[in-house]
Amino acid sequence: MAENAAPGSKNQTHLLEIERLLKGAHGQALVATEVRNDELFADISPAAVPDIMRWLRDDKSCRFDYIRCLCGVDYPDHVTVVYHLFATKTKSKITVRTDVSKNSPAVSSVTDIWAGADWPERETAEMFGLVFEGHPDPRRLLLTDDNDAMPLRKDFKLDYGDARRGVSE
Amino acid sequence: MAIARPFLIALALVIFVLSNIVFFMWAEFKISGRVADRLGPMETGRFHGWAQPLADILKFLNKEDIIPANADKLIFRVAPFVGFIPVVMVLAAIPYTNKIFVRDFDIAVFFVIALSSFTFVSMVMGGWASGNKYSLLGAFRAAGMLLSYELPLGLAIAGVVMLSATLSLIGIVQHQTVWNIVLQPIGFLVFMVAMQAELQRSPFDLAVAESELVAGYSVEYSGMRYAMFQLGEFFGLWALASMAVLLFLGGWHGPYLPGIVWFFIKFYGIFLFLAFSRVSVPRVRPDQLMDLGWKILLPSALVNIVITATLIVLVPHYQLPLAISEFAILIGALYLMRRVLK
Amino acid sequence: MNAAMTNYYYVVAFAIVGGVFGGLLLTVARIMRPNKVNKTKLEAYECGMEPFEGNWTQYSARFYVFALVFLIFDVEIAFLYPWGTVFRDFGVTSLIEMFVFIGVLLLGLVYAWKKGVLKWL
Amino acid sequence: MPQHKSTPQLMEINLGPQHPATHGVLRIVLTLDGERVVKAVPHLGYLHRGVEKIVEDLEYFQIPPILDRMDYVANLNNELSYVMGVEKLAGLKVPERAEYIRVILLEFNRIMSHFAWFGPFTNDLGLFGTAFLYGLREREYIQRLFERTTGARMHYNYFTYGGLRHDIPEGFVEEARHLANRLPAVIDEFEYMVEENEIFRLRTIGIGPMDGKTALNFGASGPFLRASGIPIDLRKDEPYSVYDRFDFKVCSASGGDCFARYKVRMDEMRESVKIIQQALDQMPDGPVRAKTTRHLKLPKGEVYMRTEHARGEFGAYIVSDGGVRPYRLKLRSPSLSNLMASCVLLPGMVLPDLIATVASVDIVLGCTDR
């Protein structure tokens, strides 16, 4: 499939170049980076989110001008916020992950960088109990206003009643 | 007996028109069905759903009548009657042939125009009194349409009045040796467009505007009260379609067949036009509607009057020049409009 | 009774029949229909939500201008009809007079148009 | 004449959730000045069923039927992103025949979805019923093929990791070819029906224009984005499945108004027909399903798989902890982003234009709310 570009392909080289530039510009905030399957993965510290994101959009070798997906993943000790970015010119992809601690679940909003992060951030906020600092309209998106549950956290269990009887483990 | 006579005539006429309306409703179901490539009602009454309108009326009778708590109850109750009674009164002035008519009014044209615009008044009243925002928006729109389409309608008829020098509908028909549609194509077109607006038929059904205002002025009306608005509209259709036939299509004139048959052939021709136009064009926007009324229809109607008056006074045999110049202007204007819109 | 009076007698009769007929329909409906109102049913419809406050609002000022222009032209129609029935008896004079009348009103329309008050929205 | 200057009294009104033109249960709280929209605040969540939470309790093979219930107009397109993501994580190789059948069904599904958009769109413009039923009629012909193939009318549950649930029925190819040959004339008919209509043009041209840059910034995708003059189509840009073997062009239009959105969808259907015809010609024989186990265990890892849904980019972000259930499955819905983008257009519009614009975006609330 066209998916798995061979190592050393044009795209791969470009991603490695971005990885190098990223390390140079924001090395101290990077936790880990990896190029796999035509995609760059970068783990960053939450404090560096606004800087790195703005750099990713504005730097002329990156130009990640399109936010595909913003979501959270709940782990036992932290919530990871995952940004899937895309550059429409070079067609390169990057996945940025940042681990937000559950004690102070705050991360800077990226709505001023990509307006498309608006509703996904609202959704992530209500589903995981996060706070996106600087979000222009931090209301709930899908849940009712009086619902304080954080449904997508793992400690929130669905109650099926009898509906799941007989489903194998 | 002389005192009871008008009442009996009125009752007979209302029942006659009502039976026609039942047919209208059925025909509209079937036409809009066939146009949309489906069958329309097929079950009610076995034969092609002929009883569907009756079933609808029965349903209206069975519906709960709800008057919202914050409605202006008096006006809310009165509004359907304001829409219904004037269009029944109009029936008194409409002749069907030179023998079959109720009364020959010498100002029949005036009378019909004046009373048929009461429909809008009832909409404004009903929409305002409902105490609902959607109906209020519908009422705004109805009022705007009343203001904008009353004028072209009246001015389009003025040309006909000038040709026949009378306001009596019977007189106007008798005067039409050549149908007025030939002499007054601009007037006819303006009349037809304004008529659709007066009747709240698509593309001018803005006061109802299902996809925008849910049901416009009639949001809060249910059951028979709602049905009365509908009945009023159908009676209005009866009145204005008859007017179109009498003023522009030569009324009962026609070869071979008796006059009354000709009248209804033409009448149902107009009805078919209305039924088809309803299902084939989208709705216009309120501002486009106003623009059409004020900036196209009103000036065209005035141009029509000016041409007609000038030719009648200055040219002895004015009929042929009038027809030629009107058609020339009409075709030119339509061509220009198409160019602009493309 | 003269003809005009008879005409209007007929009109009144038609009005009464219309009113009685409508009333009859409502009465029949009143007998047939159920009547189980509750508070929710009596609420104003607003797409299934509880309505916001204030169901009546002001009319737009534009509306008033429309109504004025309408009134002027409606008066014109009222003059045009009787004129239309008799104007050929007076020949060119009546023609010019009416043209001046229409012209003045048309100027008014053009003025209103240019001023931009014929914008609905 | 002095203009009216004092502050007008504004009217606050709910448009939806129970409204004929909000395509389900979208609720927009409008602040109106007359009929001019001053402020439009969308409220979502009336169809929120917690898909992302439910799937965490399901095994991988149980998930596609849940996804069918998201975008209930283009169901197969929903399934694709997810099954391809699982395949990628598991390293499954899908048989060629299955890929081709997938493409054929996906493109038919796209056409169905566009038909189901076209009808309601004209309905919202006030062409009551006519074009709506034409759209549904054509949809029904394709629907029959789907019913025969998958055994279900709406919730197909036909794609599965490793291929398809079962092979196509007897006579599928002939019927599909017949449908595909018929469709261009149908699309021409639809265009003729509305495009020559002055009122349709007046109501759509120049209404709700969105420039490409804004659309991109808002993460819009699909026909909505392409109508703004940005020809991004994942089938072409990041080819998945066997899309790189077909000859088709990415349709885009300039203007970004309602008419452009309409035009793009119409053109796109023609391209879909081309893809279907090519796929039918090239389709090989063979198995339709790779060897897999029922209780599939995915290796630890994550994948973001995106496909070109009928409405735009549909993404499935699967995080696996090595078990039989996904640790997290995020579904990126194209309707959500497109709706979000279109909502900035609404203030300043008049009510009928607002209805037309929201309708032109082609939202499905099941997909938006998940």
Distance CA D199, CA B203 (A): 9
Distance CA B281, CA B204 (A): 10
pLDDT at D3: 46
Cβ contact, residue pair C120, B290, below 8 Å: yes
Phi, psi of B109 (to 5 degrees): -60, -50
pLDDT at B341: 67
Q: Whole domain around residue A154: which residue ranges?
A: 10-163
Residues of chain C short of pLDDT 70, as ranges, are: 1, 3, 53-62, 120-121
pLDDT at D5: 47
Whether A2 is in a domain gets the answer no
Closest CA to D349 of D126, D119, D6, D15: D15
Cα-based angle A114, A117, A119 (whole degrees, multiple of 5): 145
Residue of D nearest to A124 (CA): D330
pLDDT at C62: 65
Whether A128 is in a domain gets the answer yes
Distance CA D178, CA C78 (A): 65
Amino acid letter, residue B184: Q
Share of chain A residues as helix, strand and coil, in percent rounded to the nearest 5: 30, 25, 45
Whether D353 has its CB under 8 Å from any CB of chain B: the answer is yes
Residue A162's pLDDT band (boundaries 50, 70, 90)?
A: low
Residue from C2, C5, C14 to probe the interface with B (highest B Cβ count within 10 Å) = C14
Residue B342's pLDDT band (boundaries 50, 70, 90)?
A: low
Distance CA D3, CA C116 (A): 10
Whether D324 has its CB under 8 Å from any CB of chain B: the answer is no
What residues pair up with B169 in beta bridges, in sequence order? none
Q: Which residues of C61-72 are buried (b: 16+ CB within 10 A; e: fewer)?
A: ebbebbeebbee
Cβ contact, residue pair C85, B220, below 8 Å: no
Closest CA to D252 of A88, A33, A61, C95: A88
Residue A21 has pLDDT above 80, yes or no: no
Residue from C43, C45, C49 to probe the interface with D (highest D Cβ count within 10 Å) = C49
What residues pair up with A74 in beta bridges, in sequence order? A79
Distance CA D336, CA A70 (A): 12
Whether D13 is in a domain gets the answer no
Min Cα distance D14 → chain B (Å) is: 9
Residue A161 has pLDDT above 70, yes or no: no
**Neighbouring residues of A24: CB distance < 8 A, sequence distance ≥ 6:** none
Whether A168 is in a domain gets the answer no
Whether D122 is in a domain gets the answer yes
Whether B131 has its CB under 8 Å from any CB of chain C: the answer is yes
Closest CA to B148 of A73, C119, D176: C119
pLDDT at B167: 83
Whether D315 has its CB under 8 Å from any CB of chain A: the answer is yes
* Overall average pLDDT of the D107-125 stretch: 88
Amino acid letter, residue B342: K
What residues pair up with D312 in beta bridges, in sequence order? D309
A88-92, D25-29, D345-349: which range is least confident on average? A88-92
B282 closest CB neighbour out of D13, D32, D127 = D127
Cβ contact, residue pair A143, D45, below 8 Å: yes
Total number of domains constituting chain D: 1
Distance CA D279, CA B146 (A): 58
- Each residue's pLDDT tens digit, B279-306: 888 888 888 888 888 888 888 888 888 8
pLDDT at A164: 60
Whether D163 is in a domain gets the answer yes
Whether D22 is in a domain gets the answer no
Whether D300 is in a domain gets the answer yes
Residue A74: count of CB within 10 angstroms of its CB:
21
- Each residue's pLDDT tens digit, D279-318: 888 888 888 888 887 888 888 888 888 888 888 888 889 9
Amino acid letter, residue D289: R
Cβ contact, residue pair A95, D57, below 8 Å: no
Whether B209 has its CB under 8 Å from any CB of chain D: the answer is yes
Min Cα distance C102 → chain D (Å) is: 22
Helices (H), B130-258: 133-164, 169-175, 180-183, 185-198, 210-213, 223-248
Give the CATH number for residue D118. Answer: 1.10.645.10
Whether D1 is in a domain gets the answer no
Total number of domains constituting chain A: 1
C105 exposed, middle or buried (CB, 10 Å; 0-12, 13-18, 19+)? Answer: middle
pLDDT at B124: 85
Whether A101 is in a domain gets the answer yes
pLDDT at B1: 56
Whether D287 is in a domain gets the answer yes
* Overall average pLDDT of the A111-127 stretch: 87
Whether a cis peptide bond, with omega within 30° of 0, leads into D284 is no
B148-152, D21-25, D98-102: which range is least confident on average? D21-25
Closest CA to B152 of B113, B200, B103, B124: B113
Residue A166 has pLDDT above 60, yes or no: no
With pLDDT > 70 as the criterion, what percentage of chain D qualifies? Answer: 98
Whether D239 has its CB under 8 Å from any CB of chain A: the answer is yes
What would the two tokens of residue B288 be?
């486009």
Note whether D124 and D187 are within 8 A (CB): no
Question: What's the gap between Cα A156 and its chain centre?
Answer: 22
pLDDT at A1: 38
* First CA to last CA distance, chain C: 52
Model's pTM, two decimal places? 0.85
Residue A163 has pLDDT above 70, yes or no: no
Phi, psi of D19 (to 5 degrees): -140, 140
Q: Residues of A at the D interface (Cβ-Cβ below 8 Å)?
A: 1-3, 39, 65-69, 71, 73-74, 82, 84, 88, 91, 95, 114-120, 127, 140-144, 151-152, 156, 158, 160, 164, 168
Q: Which residues of D touch A15 (CB under 8 A)?
A: none
Give the CATH number for residue A56. Answer: 3.30.460.80
Taking CA atoms, A108 is separated from A49, A56, A121, in Å, by 6, 15, 10
- Each residue's pLDDT tens digit, D165-184: 888 888 888 888 888 888 89
Residue A9's pLDDT band (boundaries 50, 70, 90)?
A: low
Amino acid letter, residue D123: N
- Each residue's pLDDT tens digit, D312-363: 888 889 988 888 888 888 888 888 888 888 888 888 888 888 888 888 888 8
Residue A28 has pLDDT above 80, yes or no: no
Residue A2's pLDDT band (boundaries 50, 70, 90)?
A: very low
Q: Whole domain around residue D288: which residue ranges?
A: 50-340
Distance CA D261, CA D254 (A): 9
Residue from C50, C68, C69, C121 to probe the interface with D (highest D Cβ count within 10 Å) = C121
pLDDT, chain D, mean: 85
* First CA to last CA distance, chain B: 63
Q: Which residues of A touch D54 (CB under 8 A)?
A: 158
List subunits contacting chain C, requiring 3 or more Cβ pairs under 8 Å: B, D
What residues pair up with D331 in beta bridges, in sequence order? D316
Whether D39 has its CB under 8 Å from any CB of chain C: the answer is no
Note whether B155 and C77 are within 8 A (CB): yes
Q: Which residues of D touch C54 (CB under 8 A)?
A: 9, 11-12
